[in-house]
Amino acid sequence: MKLLKIAALAAPFALISAIATPAMAQDEEEVAGPWEVDGEIAVFSDYRFRGVSLSGKNPQLTAELAVSHESGFYAGVWGSNVDLGSGNDELEVDLYGGWTTDLGGVTLDVGALYYWYPGNDGFDYAEVYSSIGTTVAGADLTLGVAYAPSQGALGNTDNIYVYAATEIPLGDTPFSLSGSIGLEDGAFGNSKVDWLVGLNMEVTSGVTASVSYVDTARAGSNLGDPTALVSLAFSF
């Protein structure tokens, strides 16, 4: 997402930046301070989480707000409609925090996430995650793992999800290809495999559209059937 400086710090420089010299621009960056805030609003044709629909195959609307520090620490909140089995839209709120750093072209990320379902406390659970990413021949590559320890919402068992993902820019065009594959085992899957292949386009600054093919080897439920997933996101 496009980074947005904290308004109280960035506003005085909005006009100056239009006529600033490189030296003035550097001073502006320094005055802006170590904190950054970013956000995103997006709509999807379905809420697919690790290959499985969590919206009853209905459209999804999401909103996110995050704050990060130059030290690498960050925290945020993400919200979405979700179908918990009643056939009606309910609310999912994800609260997360972590730390990321770059080590010679390799990006490390570790954190924790709490899935909160207001009014449905029996579904709430926590998860920890980590990932490592790098760029090879212009392609962004990421390997990651998410682990949810045994807790009541998971039937007193644990869950682990490991994945690999990539995004490949298509030259100097606004298009890029993306793909991922994941393996899940535990409370939410028994050696379940999911995968995604997509085409992304930067429509304009801060606006991204995508179309993806999503599928999973999940058995016994049509919520993991293959689908074409379409999205439009506005970041600020």
Query: How far apart are the C-alpha atoms of 39 and 163, rounded to whole Å?
Result: 25
Of all helices (H) and strands (E), which one includes residue 211? strand 207-216
Task: State the pLDDT at residue 4.
Answer: 30
Tokens of 156: 């007193």
Q: What is the pLDDT of residue 3?
A: 30
> How much is the pLDDT for 209?
98
Do 91 and 79 contact (CB within 8 A), yes or no? Answer: yes
Cα separation, 116 vs 188, in Å, equals: 17
Write down all domains in the chain, each with its CATH number in brackets.
1-33 (no CATH), 35-235 (2.40.160.40)
Closest CA to 201 of 167, 165, 226: 167
pLDDT at 86: 86
The Cα diameter of the chain in Å comes to 62
186 in Cβ contact with 154 (< 8 Å) = yes
DSSP annotation string for 63-99: EEEEEEETTSEEEEEEEEEE--SSSS-EEEEEEEEEE
CA distance 197 to 214: 7
Q: Is 134 helix (H, G, I), strand (E, B) or coil?
A: strand
Q: How far is CA 141 from the centre of its chain?
A: 15
Task: Give me the residues of the chain with pLDDT under 50, please.
Answer: 1-29
What is the rounded distance in angstroms from the CA atom of residue 85 to the CA atom of residue 220?
Answer: 15
Among all chains, which residue has been given the structure tokens 């960035």? 10
φ, ψ for residue 229, nearest 5 deg: -105, 125
For 83, other C-beta atoms within 10 Å of its C-beta total 19
Can you give the pLDDT at residue 15? 31
Q: Which of 138, 142, 147, 211 is nearest to 180 (CA)?
A: 142
13-22: burial string, b at 16+ Cβ within 10 Å, e else: beeeeeeeee
| Cα angle: 161, vertex 165, 171; to 5 degrees | 170
Cα dihedral 88, 49, 147, 123 in deg (nearest 10): 0
